[in-house]
Amino acid sequence: MPSPKLTVAVTGPTGEVGTAFVAALERRPEVGRILGMARRPFSPADHGWKKVEYRRGDILDRAAVDALVAEADVVVHLAFIIVTGQGESRDINLLGSRNVFEATAAAGARRLVYTSSVAAYGFGDDEDGEDGLLTEESPARGYERHPYSAQKAEVEAVLDEALSGSETDAYVFRPCVVAGPQAPLLIDSIPFVDLGSRLPRAVQALFEQVPILKPVLPDPGVPFQLVHHDDVAAALVAAVLGAGEAGVYNLAGEGEITVADLADEIGWYSIPVPDLAMDATAELVARLPFLPDEAKWIEALRRPVLMDTTRARERLGWAPEHDARDTLRQTVAAHRAELEAETQRGT
């Protein structure tokens, strides 16, 4: 007799990782139902999804969370605010996540899958493992001057506390920067990146004739990793199906890039920034509490935070299909296509 099909509950199914993940779940014969919940209106039919039952709800509403996970065999927690005011992000990220974790344990779900981040390791000076790469044994200390990093580390501690003594297995993924056609945050975070497409054609032509007028990105020379949203989705699906063993897994595509590579891909210039200048800028940002959280991402560029992904490859059988440069190319190409479409709609 075949095993009964899984019912999977997903918070945040409409986000950059969520849409790729749910699309991958739809293709798995082991999955019978997908229960999704997020705050905004969303139509699964628009994506051609047949297994998804979507409801609007907030993870801060414990009753809504309880109802979502009540019938689930597996709960996947993707809802998380990356950049916003610290008060709102803390409520969603800490209190909302606690609701999901405690409700999952109370419902007796077999597995809980949570997407943390490389940022959970923090951006200090003593985080590297062997060969300069972070392994899953490296402590998730967070970085107090970077709200997203600090909250990611804190949520992992909340998860351990909420599931303590329960029979629910937890898979925790720490992806690096997620990019790809459906994940534009990497590009959208660059100030004025879409300015060129919105300028008059005469000005655009001037940029082409006089390249020195192109915008410039400061490059501290610090390498970073990228992972394609489809590859993250593949790892999440493996966890939903109970592959390997529960635990923490790093996720990153092959290779590394720098800000100079990013500038080349978007057609801008880059200029090297000395370490001392970068440190001074980051220190200044840390002392200016009125600046938006977006500005505090400069902390992440002060030093390399690179991960080893051997565990995911060996224990989950995870084999990412996209390396860092391919992921970057796809992300930039999708951004350009969207800008062109917007321009055409406006004409």
Q: What is the pLDDT of residue 290?
A: 36
- Give me the residue spans of the domains in the chain: 6-182+226-254+305-323
Least confident of 13-17, 73-77, 80-84, 158-162: 80-84
Q: Are strands 111-115 and 31-38 parallel, antiparallel or unpaired?
A: unpaired
Integer Cα distance of 86 and 108 in angstroms: 32
Could you tell me the CA-to-CA distances from 154 to 43, 95, 149, 217, 324 in Å, in that order?
Answer: 33, 11, 9, 32, 28
Least confident of 133-147, 276-290, 315-329: 276-290
Nearest-angstrom CA–CA distance, 233 and 241: 12
Tokens linked to 113: 């899958």
Cα distance between residue 165 and residue 176, in whole Å: 30
Name the CATH topology of 6-182+226-254+305-323.
Rossmann fold (3.40.50)
Residue 219: beta bridge partners? 272
Distances, alpha carbon 304 to alpha carbons 87, 90, 128, 135, in Å: 28, 26, 9, 14
- The pLDDT of 37-57, averaged and rounded, is 95
Which structure tokens are listed for 199? 């300028």
Largest CA distance in the chain: 70
> What is the structure's pLDDT at 43?
95
Angle 242-117-223 (CA atoms, 0-180°, nearest 5)?
125
Q: pTM of the full predicted structure? A: 0.87
Say how far apart CA 60 and CA 259 lie, in whole Å: 37
Strand, helix or coil for residue 249: strand
- Distance separating alpha carbons of residues 347 and 340, to the nearest angstrom: 11
pLDDT of residue 1: 57
| Residue 302 predicted with pLDDT over 80 | no
pLDDT tens column, 215-224: 777 787 888 9
pLDDT over 70, % of the chain: 78
pLDDT at 157: 96
Do residues 97 and 66 touch, judged by C-beta distance below 8 A? no
Q: Which pLDDT value is given to residue 181?
A: 95
pLDDT, tens digit (0-9, with 9 covering 90-100), for 79-103: 987 754 455 677 888 999 999 999 9
Q: Are 59 and 99 in contact (CB under 8 A)?
A: yes
Averaged over 310-332, what is the pLDDT?
97
